[in-house]
Amino acid sequence: MDYIYGIHSVLEALDAGRTIDRIYIKNPRSEVAQRARQLGIPLQVVPQQKLDSITRRNHQGVIAMMSAIDYMPLENLVPMLFDDGVLPLFLVLDGITDVRNFGAIARTAECCGVNAIIIPTKGSVSVGADAIKTSAGALSHIPVCRVESLVDAAAYLRQSGCQLVCATEKSSVNYTTADYTVPTAIVMGAEGTGISPKILDMADVRAAIPMFGHIGSLNVSVAAGVMLYEVVRQRLDGNLEVI
């Protein structure tokens, strides 16, 4: 992942609106830290040794890791899709931190015509070169929206007319019985922790993928593929535009 270092260089990048994935910083009260918080850029306070392990140059206690993509503001994308007459399909990823899983999910999402992947600024994978490579380049084609609050983003999608479908094994509703021929946002949670309770409480549908073996859950990238291709199947059967 590319990076820039030094107080003035990072401040200039922030003021210029460069897409920064996260900032490693030694002093959480510095001007850089305050500016990053205002812009909603993930900030990680780290010791000198962490910064020195990235570069031995004069970093002045701050290094900004640059994003491999430009993030799309969700509040700009949603109205644009509806204005263009698109039947939206969003994929919301709650707590996905594994780069390989994320890349695999993005590859499937792009193939299925997902209009955007939505991730939180904190507790999520970084969209760097490894993610781009694992996605087979899909992340260069599908918009990614990074939001400060995934709960607020989910609420916004519902208010905009999208149903919220949460994939969870803690449901008796078979995922194939949900109606995906309407504007839809599918939420996938991290393996182990699942979807956050606040988002689950907002769900219009809690959908489960049936399991018949001894293992109680699928890898999240596989589960996302199962869910997304059910959307594709229903929309094709209804002669609806997938993209």
Q: For residue range 49-104, list pLDDT tens digits in order.
A: 999 999 999 999 999 998 888 899 999 999 999 999 999 999 999 999 999 999 99
pLDDT at 1 over 70: no
What number is the average pLDDT over the span 120-142? 86
**Is 74-237 the same fold as 3-66?**
no
Q: Give the architecture-level CATH label for domain 3-66.
A: 2-Layer Sandwich (3.30)
| pLDDT value for 207 | 96
Domain residue ranges in the chain: 3-66, 74-237
Residue 199 in contact with residue 154, Cβ under 8 Å?
yes
Instruction: Give per-residue burial for 154-164: e unless 16+ CB within 10 Å, then b.
Output: bebbbebebbb
**Mean pLDDT computed over every residue of the chain:** 92
Rounding to the nearest 10 degrees, give the CA dihedral for residues 67, 120, 156, 78. Answer: 20
Q: Give the architecture-level CATH label for domain 74-237.
A: 3-Layer(aba) Sandwich (3.40)
